[in-house]
Structure 1
Amino acid sequence: MLSETAYAKINLALHVRRRRDDGYHELETLFAFVDGGDRLSASPAEADSLVTHGEFASLIEDPFGNIVAKALSGLPHGKGWAVDLEKRLPVAAGLGGGSADAGAVFRMVERAHGLPDDWQARAARLGADVPACVLSTTCVGTGTGTELAPVQSDLAGTPVLLVNPRAAVPTGPVFKAWDGVDRGAMPSGSVREIALGGRNDLEAPAIVLCPAVADVLAALQFTDPFLARMSGSGATCFALYDEEAQRDRAAKKLAEKHPGWWQMTGSLR
């Protein structure tokens, strides 16, 4: 049996530069990954199958037509796999949940059979975040986010707190609500310098569609992180801390004040 964690993706910075003629957006983003997420396992079977369970499994509308099934069907992996998916990450949350699940499938196939030379193109066809989620290491993404340049991270091991107000925010409407203003390129430097000097251009449109994002960001700022920001198109926000004890105190404080919010603690990979 193979098993993999579908590591939660966060965007330490996300700069939207322009809307392209093909309808997609030109991006500059700094991907990072948390050391926790969904859990997948696979064992040989006569045909492919997928079983989902976990806190957020009920939000997957069509488990047999979802991105995990598509990843399986798009990769050589023998006769068949019986896949078990424990859905721990919220859906439509800015954490690359489905993309991370697909990325975990790619890594399992790589261990069992190796990946085809065009794996990155196959991953990109499933979604813009999927190639980065296959790697699940800190990298700069350009183009639509699929052109990747891995970077050494001086934030590896940094304590992180993820918080979601239990609101699903689909990506399409957030991009559609972006005002089209190019606010400049992502800065250069170390990962920490890019994160601190960067921004998320989707925060403002996401807050218009889901005001609770602003509440989460404000609550995180009061816990004294060195950075608090929305991830992706939301609604999940993250906070980075210098010490685990700070993160754990923040998690406890927010759980007491906002018991309805989802949260996850971890460290950056």
Structure 2
Amino acid sequence: MTIAETAYAKINLALHVRKRREDGYHELETLFAFVDAGDRLTASPADQDTVSSVGEFASGLDDPFDNLVAKALGKLPRNGGLAVTLEKNLPVAAGLGGGSADAGAVFRIVRELHGLPDDWHARATALGADVPACVESRTCIGRGTGTDLEPADDSLSDTPVLLVNPRQPLATGPVFKLWDESDRGPLPQGDAREITLAGRNDLEKPAIELCPVIAQILDEMRGTDPFLARMSGSGATCFALYDNIPARDAAAETIVASYPDWWQMKGLLR
């Protein structure tokens, strides 16, 4: 039996950084959303766990046996192993939660085949702040370091979205270090659309300091008449939301014509 799962690309529709914590992490409030496209995992029963990586960005994984897929497999008790093939379609260190999304897909695969332990949320949290949200891969609000999850409405479900990345990896740590420690206020109230439109990404400015092309991507995206363009997570990927699919597709064509080297992905919010 072979089972397949999409590791849905994560985007932060809004990301408010509130303070630096004593443990070195940051207190934040974010609105997670997920695109109906991403990496692809296939798994089949085996004597022991194995992980192989293919796809455009497979070479960006320093050690395919030490990535979050392997670590997620190690966190989940079950009988027998799984042979997993990861098709790496999302750029690495891109603000899309790629590794976390891959881990979330592993949790869903194991849930279908064996069920998950009652403490699966704690096991997911131990792998990374984005992993618990990526297990269900549905719009939700994250607080604390992002692991304290609250349900959010799906008022943006099926919204056309375009992702653009300059093919320049951007590590999360240095971006957070450049945050100016100014609390600009909490996540807005309202439905997902209202939160998104009234929200912000507090990491955009420090990310642009480290990767100036982000500002250029945002300018190009805003020139295609989306109802919102913003950076996701700690960058460098940016996203734009459109009122309809033809508008999104026209924007994608416009951008690729001028910047053929930029990576892009089209999809719908889940």
TM (normalized to structure 2)?
Answer: 0.99
Matches within 5 A, 1:48-197: 48-197=49-198
Asked if 1:3 corresponds to 2:4, the answer is: yes
- Give aligned-pair identity as a percent: 68
Match of 2:225 in 1: 224
The one-letter code sitting in structure 1 at the alignment partner of 2:267 is G
Q: Secondary structure at the match of 2:156?
A: coil
CA distance in 2, matches of 1:147, 1:248: 35
RMSD (CA atoms): 0.5
The one-letter code sitting in structure 2 at the alignment partner of 1:136 is S
Match of 2:209 in 1: 208
Match of 1:24 in 2: 25
CA distance in 1, matches of 2:147, 2:159: 25
The CA deviation at 1:149 is 0.7
CA distance in 2, matches of 1:35, 1:164: 17
CA distance in 2, matches of 1:189, 1:47: 47
Moved more, 160-169 or 70-79: 70-79
After TM superposition, which residue ranges in structure 1, 4 or more long, deviate above 3 angstroms?
none
The CA deviation at 1:78 is 2.1
Q: Secondary structure at the match of 2:209?
A: helix
Q: Secondary structure at the match of 2:24?
A: coil
The CA deviation at 1:76 is 1.7
Q: Secondary structure at the match of 2:226?
A: coil
Count residues in correspondence: 269
Map Cα deviations across residues 100-146 of structure 1 (whole Å, 9 max, x no partner).
00000000000011100000000000000000000100000000000
CA distance in 2, matches of 1:139, 1:46: 37
CA distance in 2, matches of 1:230, 1:77: 38
The CA deviation at 1:153 is 1.4
CA distance in 1, matches of 2:46, 2:76: 15
The CA deviation at 1:150 is 1.6
CA distance in 2, matches of 1:125, 1:205: 27
CA distance in 1, matches of 2:236, 2:116: 33
The one-letter code sitting in structure 2 at the alignment partner of 1:187 is P
CA distance in 2, matches of 1:215, 1:115: 43
CA distance in 2, matches of 1:154, 1:74: 34
The CA deviation at 1:77 is 3.1
CA distance in 2, matches of 1:116, 1:184: 37
CA distance in 1, matches of 2:14, 2:78: 35
CA distance in 2, matches of 1:184, 1:197: 11
The one-letter code sitting in structure 1 at the alignment partner of 2:9 is A
The CA deviation at 1:152 is 1.6
CA distance in 2, matches of 1:215, 1:77: 47
Map Cα deviations across residues 195-217 of structure 1 (whole Å, 9 max, x no partner).
00000000000000000100100
Is contact 1:77–1:112 with CA below 8 Å preserved after alignment?
Answer: no
Map Cα deviations across residues 28-72 of structure 1 (whole Å, 9 max, x no partner).
000000000000010011111111000000000011011110000
Asked if 1:40 corresponds to 2:41, the answer is: yes
